[in-house]
Amino acid sequence: MEFTDFGTRLYDVASSNMQRGDFCRMLFDNITDLSTADGDPLDLEADTYRKYLRGASPITKLAKSINAYIETTVFIAYIEHHPEGVIGNIAKAFKDVFPDIDVNDSKQVAECIAELFEAIILDASKEPTPLSEDSGLDSFEKQSDTADNNETRFSNQLIDVSNSKIYYDPQSEMLYIGKSKMRVPKSIIPDEPEEHEMVYVNELLAAYSNTSGEKLTIATLKGKFKRDYLDQRINYFSALDVERFARETVNVGDEQVGLWKSDTFSYINSVLWGNFDDDFQRLMAVMAKAVDAKTTSVIEKFENLINPAARKGVCHLLVTDGQMKWVDDDE
């Protein structure tokens, strides 16, 4: 297994909304004991770690510098520190590698993942250091010029998609921009909501509670509220995937994400502020409106990536940002 595959699987289930570069650095921090090292081989730019995680740069050079300092007990402790639900999701993410793994045995899961990470680093350290690893290519690193493999690999610069033909294949999770491609993996939705979800989740619970007339929790949701809650989590993670991808990959990504959100809010706010018999009706009406939202952000060019779930999920990003609520406390 390549590090990009290993790291992406962990990122999808255990990142807690961290930036990719920070998360990647944290993985290497937790697999090493550098107390006897001469200097800090992990003192690299965040962009370098982002490239490692996305597979835009091999970890060969880094692996050679840290292979003598690997300490799996540190990584085992890091994995075991996660909540049981997250550890279970980690086990599921690597079920193809460890088919007999017990998702309920935190110690076994942690040991398996730590040993796999160690093996990946040791294997990478045996490879010759590629000339292109520090070459600083301006935009793309050519992989092949053959007719069957005339593709490019994303390197260290953000992508200008303004004049590119873009296509996303949801089956392979590959995004094609002109003759270039990259993997855009979907998040694995954890069984229980994580800390970064709680703002929009609590707002949903408030809407359900106001509508039903009783104080509802995640555990007491039933019927249409339970179904909607599960759907809304899918919507949230669909939008979150798009937001993360755009921020870390697209040229002026932060600006484009902001435009995507603000334009969506401008499109839905007349419905949001309308008169409804209950807050659940308001929620349903806004979601129906959001599906049709078209914005001026370049994110719109990723048509197959921006699916109806992602368009609805922007509402939850706006709720999380404090830009909107389902329940008006003043009414």
Could you read off the pLDDT of 239-283 as tens digits, one per residue?
Answer: 998 888 887 677 778 899 999 999 999 999 999 999 999 999 999
Cα–Cα distance measured from residue 15 to residue 22, given in angstroms and rounded to the nearest whole number: 9
Cα–Cα distance measured from residue 48 to residue 56, given in angstroms and rounded to the nearest whole number: 9
- Is residue 64 within 8 A of residue 262, CB to CB? The reply is no
pLDDT of residue 157: 42
pLDDT of residue 181: 72
| pLDDT higher than threshold 90 for residue 320 | yes
- Is residue 236 within 8 A of residue 313, CB to CB? The reply is yes
Cα–Cα distance measured from residue 212 to residue 55, given in angstroms and rounded to the nearest whole number: 48
Percent of the chain with pLDDT over 70: 87
Confidence band of 149 (pLDDT split at 50, 70, 90): very low
With residues binned 3-state (H G I as helix, E B as strand, rest as coil), the percentages for the chain, rounded to 5, are 55, 5, 40
pLDDT of residue 150: 32
pLDDT of residue 23: 93
Q: What is the mean pLDDT of the chain?
A: 85
Global pTM? 0.59
pLDDT tens for 72-104 read: 999 999 999 999 999 999 999 999 999 999 999
DSSP 159: B
